[in-house]
Amino acid sequence: MTGDREAGAASRPPVGPRVQVDPPGFEPPGCEVAVIGCGNLLRGDDGVGPILVRRLAETGVPAGVRLVDGGTAGMDTAFAMRGARRVVVVDASRTGAEPGTVFEVPGAQLENLPLDAPHPHAFRWDQALAFGRWLLGDGYPDDVVVYLIEAGGVEPGADLSPAVRRAMEQVRDMILSGLAPGTGGTDG
């Protein structure tokens, strides 16, 4: 038994500094902007991020924009940022503000938060920004912005509340105006 454990330990990679390795054919998918909607579609207003991404997919976005349903897996958010110059994250918040209130938070305020050994099954998108900064190094996006929409109800099976739906459309318009040529968004 001891020999098996020792053999297993010898086959584990050494712990050390981050090393970024891109195997052939696994280069990051480049894009100008990645819009990542986070949240749980099955819990009312908490699903505003993925619903907004679906709405953008229905109405169309300029070339160079990648739309990502980040769901509730923060780790997916970290990897979805890979290859993007600019990232927009949209999620619901619960701060006690009026439902539908929109908060715009520069990613720089969140990406340097302490990364205290998050559990892989409870890894949030805000932790993903800090993890992404570490993981991607020089490949981290130049610009990250987070739109938080204050949720009202997050009951299982509920639809978006009217206030959150209106706020989602407002954020959608803000995102699209930032993607227009000459506004700092995509070049095309």
Which residues face 91 on adjacent strands?
A: 148
What domains lie within the chain, and their CATH numbers? 30-179 (3.40.50.1450)
Calculate what percentage of the chain has a pLDDT beyond 70: 71
Q: Rounded to 5 degrees, what angle do the CA atoms 147, 57, 61 make? A: 80
CA–CA distances in Å: residue 63 to residues 51, 88, 99: 20, 16, 33
Tens digits of residue pLDDT in 45-66: 999 999 999 999 999 888 889 9
Tens digits of residue pLDDT in 77-94: 778 888 889 999 999 998
Note the pLDDT of residue 168: 96
